[in-house]
Structure 1
Amino acid sequence: MRILFVCTGNTCRSSMAEVIARKWLKDNAPGRTDFELASAGLAAYPGSPASPEAIEVMSMAGIDLIKHRAKRFCGEHADKSDVIITMTDGHKQAILNSFPAAALKVFTLSELADSRSYDISDPIGQPAAIYLKCAREIQELVNKIFHKIVKQTDTR
């Protein structure tokens, strides 16, 4: 299953969601190789590193984000992803406006986790404490989503 996390610049929220999900799978579903995780940004500058605050907050959780480089969302992402998880409804709507055929596979992070949609606020330019709050919110939602997805796709 190819899962893509999407935000604006791919330097904060979606990059943190990707590595948080990777860690969840490693810790809770070891040996599962049927997941491909990635992230991208609708307005990303390709090759940009993750923000220093995102790197710091992920490091505090024992997760390495230093090697991350931003990718810009494109049609190939829309075509090849099985599930596209956005950080806001605005991101979701932008994807649907450009790629209406993706309608059945685009969800906000919150609607997949909680069956109700709300935005994950962008921490860019804020102090590390705001990034930490954002990361905790993402982690809580990712945990809920991956618990469901892994249970539904477990073939053992």
Structure 2
Amino acid sequence: MSFEALSPDESTPFRIIFVCTGNICRSPMAEVVLRDLVTRSGLGRLITTSSAGTGDWHVGEQADIRTIKALAKKGYDGSHHRARQFDPAWFADLDLVVVLDRSQERILRNWATNEHDRNKVRLLLSFDASQATLHDVPDPYYSDDAMFDAVLGMIEGANLALFKQLAPAIRQGVR
């Protein structure tokens, strides 16, 4: 995805949402990691992050305790997260919808009512050349702490690659 067509407007930040299945494992990790990169870079007014799930099973719940622990081990705070379900009406207010696997990609592209919104949907790993061929960030929900740590590592790498593509365009005012 090219970020060349972005218009600089501090009153309207670039809005990114991360979407996984239940919004308690992968997408909260991605939201917290990118928010940390954005905050540390001084671009917090220009880029906002959020997350949601395609399903409603966990709406209102905190992130999975293993997600919170994996994040804390790396110095991130995921304790304030509350799960929510993606609402297709949100497409109009979003610039980028980053999904964690191809099942969310299919669902969200089906929920989009026009080509413009379908084009906002991107796989997280597609931003990272070293991981792009994997396509999907595995869902660690039915696994152990080590898998949560591994998934967080994948998300950190892909978010860094996404940020490296996005930040220069935002800084230069060339969206």
Provide closer, same or farther for how the CA distance between residues 104 and 116 of structure 1 changes in structure 2, counting only shifts above 3 A: farther
> 1:125: Cα distance to partner?
2.5
Structure 1, residues 33-75: CA drift from partner, whole Å, max 9, x if none?
A: 1111100000133101100100000011111111100010012
Q: Detail structure 1 runs of 4+ shifted over 4 Å in the superposition.
A: none
Q: Distance in 2 between matches of 1:147 and 1:14?
A: 19
Larger Rg: 2
Q: Distance in 1 between matches of 2:164 and 2:18?
A: 17
Aligned residue runs from structure 1 range 1-156, under 5 A: 1-27=14-40, 29-44=41-56, 45-101=58-114, 102-114=117-129, 116=133, 118-155=135-172
Q: Which residue of 1 aligns with 2:7?
A: none
Provide closer, same or farther for how the CA distance between residues 109 and 31 of structure 1 changes in structure 2, counting only shifts above 3 A: closer
Instruction: Please give the root-mean-square deviation of Cα atoms over the aligned residues, in Å.
Output: 1.5
Q: Distance in 1 between matches of 2:153 and 2:171?
A: 26
Q: Distance in 2 between matches of 1:68 and 1:32?
A: 18
Q: For structure 1, which runs of at least 5 residues remain unmatched after alignment?
A: none
Letter paired with 1:94:
I
Letter paired with 2:46:
D
- Normalised by the size of structure 2, how large is the TM-score? 0.83
Q: Distance in 2 between matches of 1:76 and 1:117?
A: 30
Q: For structure 2, which runs of at least 5 residues remain unmatched after alignment?
A: 1-13
- Normalised by the size of structure 1, how large is the TM-score? 0.93
Instruction: Give me the identity figure in percent.
Output: 25
The count of aligned residue pairs is: 155
Contact 2:100-2:124 at 8 Å conserved across structures: yes
Q: Distance in 1 between matches of 2:96 and 2:43?
A: 21
Provide closer, same or farther for how the CA distance between residues 82 and 112 of structure 1 changes in structure 2, counting only shifts above 3 A: same
Q: Distance in 2 between matches of 1:24 and 1:142?
A: 8
Contact 1:89-1:117 at 8 Å conserved across structures: no
